[in-house]
Amino acid sequence: MLPLSAIERVARKSGAERISKEAVVELEKTLETAAEELMKEIVSVARHAGRKTVKAEDVRLVAGKA
């Protein structure tokens, strides 16, 4: 689901001089799984607050940046 070019760009910004196509694809799978798990927790926080809408504050709270 995530654009592979964006994942490769992040890898390069993080210091990777070279990254194989297979590594980019594997990272995409890992990021998608992590994002789904994170989003479930974020949705839970929003529902606990009595809302259906997820807000930036929910994301910050779950990410530990609140």
Domains detected in the chain: 4-63 (1.10.20.10)
3-state secondary structure of 22: helix
- Give 52's DSSP letter: S
Neighbours of 59 (CB within 10 A): 17
pLDDT tens profile 11-66: 999 999 999 999 999 999 999 999 999 999 999 999 999 999 999 999 999 999 86
- Give 54's DSSP letter: -
- Regarding pTM above 0.85, the answer is no
Using the predicted structure, report yes or no on whether residue 9 has a pLDDT greater than 80: yes
Where in the chain does DSSP place strands (E)?
A: none
